[in-house]
Structure formats: structure tokens, C-alpha cells
């Protein structure tokens, strides 16, 4: 019965749908790699009638492309430009190696129709910090099929975010 309620798209289906190479998928979804890391500089707000996102600054990495991150919260950007189908949602889940290092990624639902180079929240809980290489896989984007395509496609402020050159 649960199979009738929830269907996760297989790597084979994702390869076919998005014309991906087998190196682009993991066992359960599309591999997401670390592009950039940002530090929060101020408070943000979310109210019924407005929102204000905090200013951020890019965290510099070493010459070898290593981010040395102390405990705390960071905004991250993924390398991959993704398009969510009209009949699915996406959920970004952290790579288990990240969890085993004392860090994790939090993410919201990637709505039907969303496209862009998504962002997430990386939280480093390890009191000694972590080191992450730019371009390393840190998450996978799992697609859950809806019962049908929806006309309520995402067209909010993050639509087509982080396109090339930004």
C-alpha cells in the first residue's frame, strides 16, 4: 500500500528523464556537489508580509580548494543546475560521511517547476570543525513522484537562482 502513496524515482529513471551520465546519480538520487560556502553577516527576518534575507560573504578556501569550517551555520550552494519535473518534488539529503564528521545539511522541499543551482544550510556541530573540498559530493537530491503533474509550479523569488556567472 505504501508504494501507492510514495514513489521515489530510481537512478535509471533520473538518467533517462534528465539525460544524465551514470556518474551524476547515486543509489537514490542526483549527486549534489559543493560549489561555494557563505558566512552569515547579520540577522534575517520572515514575517507574514515580508522577508529579509541576511547578507552573506563567501568563505575563502585554501589554494587547494579546501574550506576549513569552524562550528556554526553556513549557507552553501550546489554545483548542479537542477530542474524539478512538474510531477515531482525534490528533497536534498546529506551524504552520510558528512553526518559521521559531525555536520549536516538542512534543506526545504524543492517544489515542482523549480529550477536553479539550489542552496542549503550546512551546520557544523563538530567542536573541532570540518574540512570540505570544493566540488566534493555532500548531498543527494531524491525525487518523489506526485500522483500527477501539477499546475501549481514554483515561480517564486528563487526560480532560476544562481545561474551561471553569478
For position 131, which CATH number holds?
A: 2.70.40.10
**Domain of 94?**
2-145
Q: Identify the bridge partners of residue 76 per DSSP, sorted by sequence position.
A: 37, 120
* pLDDT at residue 1 in the model: 47
pLDDT given at position 3: 52
155: pLDDT confidence band, cut at 50, 70 and 90? confident
Question: Residue 152 domain-assigned?
Answer: no
What's the mean pLDDT in 104-108?
A: 96
Structural domain contains residue 7: yes
Cβ neighbours for 12, distance < 8 A, ≥ 6 positions apart: none
Number of domains in the chain: 1
d(CA 107, CA 119): 8
CB 137 within 8 A of CB 114: no
- DSSP code, position 53: P
Q: With a threshold of 0.85, does the pTM exceed it?
A: yes
Q: Report the percent of the chain where pLDDT is more than 70.
A: 96
Q: CA-to-CA distance for 139 and 149, rounded, in angstroms?
A: 26
Check residue 125 and give its pLDDT: 98
Question: pLDDT per residue over 19-62, tens digit each?
Answer: 889 999 988 899 999 999 999 999 999 999 999 999 999 999 99
- E strand residue ranges, 25-151: 30-40, 45-46, 51-52, 56-58, 66-69, 72-78, 82-83, 88-94, 103-106, 115-116, 119-124, 130-133, 137-145
Residue 162 lies in a domain: no
In a domain, 13, yes or no: yes
User: Is residue 51 a part of any domain in this protein?
Assistant: yes
Q: Is 157 domain-assigned?
A: no
First vs last C-alpha separation in the chain: 45
Amino acid at each position: 500500500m505504501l508504494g501507492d502513496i510514495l514513489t521515489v524515482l530510481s537512478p535509471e529513471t533520473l538518467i533517462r528523464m534528465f539525460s544524465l551520465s551514470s556518474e551524476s546519480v547515486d543509489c537514490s538520487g542526483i549527486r549534489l556537489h559543493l560549489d561555494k560556502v557563505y558566512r552569515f553577516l547579520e540577522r534575517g527576518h520572515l514575517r507574514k508580509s515580508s522577508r529579509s534575507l541576511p547578507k552573506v560573504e563567501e568563505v575563502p578556501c585554501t589554494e587547494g580548494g579546501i574550506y576549513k569550517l569552524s562550528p556554526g551555520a553556513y549557507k552553501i550552494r550546489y554545483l548542479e543546475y537542477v530542474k524539478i519535473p512538474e510531477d515531482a518534488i525534490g528533497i536534498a539529503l546529506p551524504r552520510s560521511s558528512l553526518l559521521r564528521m559531525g555536520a549536516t545539511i538542512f534543506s526545504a522541499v524543492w517544489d515542482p517547476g523549480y529550477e536553479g543551482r539550489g542552496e542549503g544550510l550546512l551546520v557544523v556541530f563538530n567542536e573541532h570543525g570540518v574540512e570540505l573540498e570544493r566540488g566534493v559530493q555532500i548531498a543527494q537530491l531524491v525525487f518523489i513522484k506526485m500522483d500527477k503533474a501539477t499546475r501549481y509550479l514554483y515561480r517564486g523569488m528563487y526560480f532560476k537562482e544562481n545561474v551561471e556567472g553569478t
